[in-house]
Structure 1
Amino acid sequence: MKLDDVRRNAFAMPLTSPAFPPGPYRFVDREFLVVTYRTDPDALRAVVPEPLQIPDEPLVKYEFIRMPDSTGFGDYTESGQVIPVLYQGRKGSYVHSMFLNDEAPIAGGRELWGFPKKLAAPLLQVQTDTLLGTLDYGSVRVATATMGYKHRALDAQALLPGLLEPNYLLKIIPHVDGSARICELVEYHLEDVVVKGAWTGPAALQLAEHALAPVARLPVLEVVSGVHVLTDLTLGLGRVVHDYLA
Structure 2
Amino acid sequence: MRETDVKRRAFAMPLTNPAYPPGPYRFVDREYLIITYRTDPAKLREIVPEPLEVNEREALVKYEFIRMPDSSGFGDYTESGQVIPVSFRGREGGYTHCMFLNDEGPIAGGRELWGFPKKLAQPTLRTETDTLIGTLDYGPLRVATGTMGYKHREADLAKVKAALNEPTFLLKIIPHVDGSPRICELVQYRLEDIVLKGAWTGPAALALTPHALAPVAELPVLEIISAVHIRADLTLGLGTVVHDYLQHQARGSTRTNEKALVF
TM-score bracket, shorter-length normalisation: over 0.9
- The one-letter code matched in structure 1 to 2:159 is A
What CA distance in whole angstroms lies between the structure 2 residues aligned with 1:195 and 1:42?
Answer: 35
1:58 aligns with 59
What CA distance in whole angstroms lies between the structure 2 residues aligned with 1:158 and 1:178?
Answer: 44
1:76 aligns with 77
- The one-letter code matched in structure 2 to 1:97 is C
- The answer as to 2:38 corresponding to 1:49 is no
What CA distance in whole angstroms lies between the structure 2 residues aligned with 1:111 and 1:182?
Answer: 11
2:198 aligns with 197
What is the TM-score when the length of structure 1 is the normalising length? 0.99
- The one-letter code matched in structure 1 to 2:158 is Q
Contact 1:54 1:85 in 2 (8 A): yes
Structure 1 residues not aligned, in runs of 5+: none
- The one-letter code matched in structure 1 to 2:189 is Y
The alignment partner of 2:53 has SS state of: coil
1:177 aligns with 178
> 1:49-80: per-residue Cα shift (whole Å, max 9, x none)?
00000023100000000000000000000000
What CA distance in whole angstroms lies between the structure 2 residues aligned with 1:236 and 1:3?
Answer: 30
Contact 1:130 1:149 in 2 (8 A): yes
The alignment partner of 1:46 has SS state of: helix
The alignment partner of 2:54 has SS state of: coil
How far has the Cα of 1:183 moved from its partner? 0.3
1:25 aligns with 25
What is the TM-score when the length of structure 2 is the normalising length? 0.93
Pairing 1:202-217 to 2, within 5 Å after superposition: 202-217=203-218
Contact 1:157 1:195 in 2 (8 A): no
- The one-letter code matched in structure 2 to 1:166 is P
How far has the Cα of 1:245 moved from its partner? 0.4
What CA distance in whole angstroms lies between the structure 2 residues aligned with 1:184 and 1:164?
Answer: 22
1:152 aligns with 153
How far has the Cα of 1:155 moved from its partner? 2.6
Give RMSD over aligned pairs: 0.6
Higher helix proportion (structure 1 or 2): 2
> 1:132-160: per-residue Cα shift (whole Å, max 9, x none)?
00000000000000000000111323311
Instruction: Determine what percentage of the aligned residue pairs are the same residue.
Output: 73
Structure 2 residues not aligned, in runs of 5+: 248-263
What CA distance in whole angstroms lies between the structure 2 residues aligned with 1:196 and 1:155?
Answer: 12
How far has the Cα of 1:184 moved from its partner? 0.2
What CA distance in whole angstroms lies between the structure 1 residues aligned with 2:160 and 2:146?
Answer: 21
Aligned residues: 246
The alignment partner of 1:245 has SS state of: helix
What CA distance in whole angstroms lies between the structure 2 residues aligned with 1:31 and 1:223?
Answer: 20
> 1:5-44: per-residue Cα shift (whole Å, max 9, x none)?
1111101000000000000000000000000000000001
